[in-house]
Structure 1
Amino acid sequence: MRLFTLKTALICTALAFGLSITGAHAATDTKHPAKSSKTAHSSKSSKAAHAKPTGQKVSMLGGKFVFTLPKDYVKGPMEEIDDKAKAAGVTGSLYMNKPAKRVVIITETPLPDGKKVPSNDTETLDNIIAETLVQQQSSYKDFNKLGEKKIVRKGLGLRQLDVSGSVDGGKVLSTTITAASGTRTAMVNVISLAKDAKAHAAVVKGVTGSK
């Protein structure tokens, strides 16, 4: 089931490139009217805009893998997960921030053959990352592996794979974070425009809990 995850990631990245341009124009068009309004209502809206976002909680693997995404990410379903996949226990969500500069794809799938593993199973995590690396090498143009990390978060083993590549001529950064516990695996894929590296790293740190 990891193959459809990467396919979806590439589709969403291409979509993000188009929407980021639209979002930039929309922001420019609305900038001046917003400044010209000095009503009490606009003042309250301004204060609300500057309020610290509370974020949105994401829980995976029965609550063993929990993290928070920024509030401005819009959650949507993944159409690639059909009824057959859902019946097999596959779940997933797609998050995109409003300016459409970043996509976060979250999927959870059962381990094959009803296999059950502890929360930091080296063999399982190594196999998942190895498969993901092969898939990404063949899917991204100008592929470059940037790094790989092993993280243990409250007893849960995580693997982080960082790569860069091109989609339809646009350069992107892609970070895949995976975990496994019990009979299920969890995968989080963060994809950003290459020029947005700082914000990309911030989201990844929020998912992994690393400093």
Structure 2
Amino acid sequence: MRLFTLRSALLCSALAFGLVACGAQAATETKHPAKSSKTTHTTKPSKAAPAKPVGQKVSMLSGKFVFTLPKDYVKGPMEEIDDKAKAAGVTGALYMNKPARRVVIITETPLPDGQKVTPNDAKTLDNIIAETLVQQQSSYKDFKKLGEKKIVRKGLGLRQLDASGSVDGGNVLSTTITAASGTRTAMVNVISLAKDAKAHTAVVKGVTGSK
């Protein structure tokens, strides 16, 4: 697991910086909208009911950890997972919503030394969260742990770590959800601008299955 955790922490910081930059740009564009010489024509609203958004399914740990992300999240590869990491069995993907205000990073990593654990191994999950906490403390400025939760979802144990911090003066929220089963661990990291706390919580609940 240590093969990839440092890269993951650095990636989180880089993405958080991107979120802050995009948020600032969006605010500027809203404050100073572009002028248009074209005449605006009012269009009557369609009577047809809007189509219900279809989420995209994410499956981890051989189907033991499954959740759905909103449709507007675009999936992309993680360049930080190099050939060495791939050869060691590390997999991952990056999901970003179109306004670029939130990212969801998912990774799966083999347990060290060929370990094999049950779907709710408290010691393994506690160790992962402890390592994650140390990494995030060094990755974010003004880091603050907001809370930690233990969740059991259909027999699979989850750990949730909520934190806040800043990147170049921009405030962000970071929630890490981790699970382990068999010989692999799964980690989901949701990073949002601090002002988007409500939407951040909604995505996290979608991942954990909490109400």
What is aligned with 1:111?
111
Does residue 13 of structure 2 align to residue 10 of structure 1? yes
Residue 30 and residue 57 in structure 1: after superposition, are their counterparts in 2 closer, same or farther (change >3 A)? farther
3-state DSSP class of the match of 1:151?
strand
Counterpart Cα distance in 2 of 1:86 and 1:202: 31
Root-mean-square deviation (CA, aligned residues, Å) is: 2.6
What is aligned with 1:68?
68
| Greater mean deviation of Cα atoms: 192-201 or 50-59 | 50-59
What is aligned with 1:177?
177
Q: In the TM superposition, what whole-angstrom CA distance separates every residue of 1:12-55 from its partner, at most 9, and x where no partner exists?
A: 111122223445638x559998x73749xxx77x968x422111
3-state DSSP class of the match of 1:36?
coil
Q: Work out whether residues 176 and 189 of structure 2, in 8 Å CA contact, stay in contact via their aligned partners in 1.
A: yes
Counterpart Cα distance in 2 of 1:16 and 1:32: 32
What is aligned with 1:133?
133
Aligned-residue offset at 1:209: 0.2
Runs of 5+ consecutive residues of structure 2 not aligned to the other structure: none
Counterpart Cα distance in 2 of 1:30 and 1:68: 39
- The number of residue pairs the alignment matches comes to 206
Runs of 5+ consecutive residues of structure 1 not aligned to the other structure: none
Alignment-mate amino acid for residue 123 of structure 1: K
Q: Work out whether residues 23 and 100 of structure 1, in 8 Å CA contact, stay in contact via their aligned partners in 2.
A: no
Counterpart Cα distance in 2 of 1:30 and 1:151: 51
Alignment-mate amino acid for residue 19 of structure 2: A
Does residue 151 of structure 2 align to residue 148 of structure 1? no
Mapping of 1:26-105 within 5 angstroms? 36=41, 38=43, 50-105=50-105
TM-score, normalising length: structure 2: 0.89
Counterpart Cα distance in 1 of 2:207 and 2:133: 20
Aligned-residue offset at 1:202: 0.2
| Greater mean deviation of Cα atoms: 54-63 or 11-20 | 11-20
Q: Work out whether residues 72 and 97 of structure 2, in 8 Å CA contact, stay in contact via their aligned partners in 1.
A: yes
Aligned-residue offset at 1:86: 0.7
Q: Work out whether residues 20 and 171 of structure 2, in 8 Å CA contact, stay in contact via their aligned partners in 1.
A: no
TM-score, normalising length: structure 1: 0.89
Counterpart Cα distance in 2 of 1:111 and 1:120: 14
Residue 156 and residue 167 in structure 1: after superposition, are their counterparts in 2 closer, same or farther (change >3 A)? same
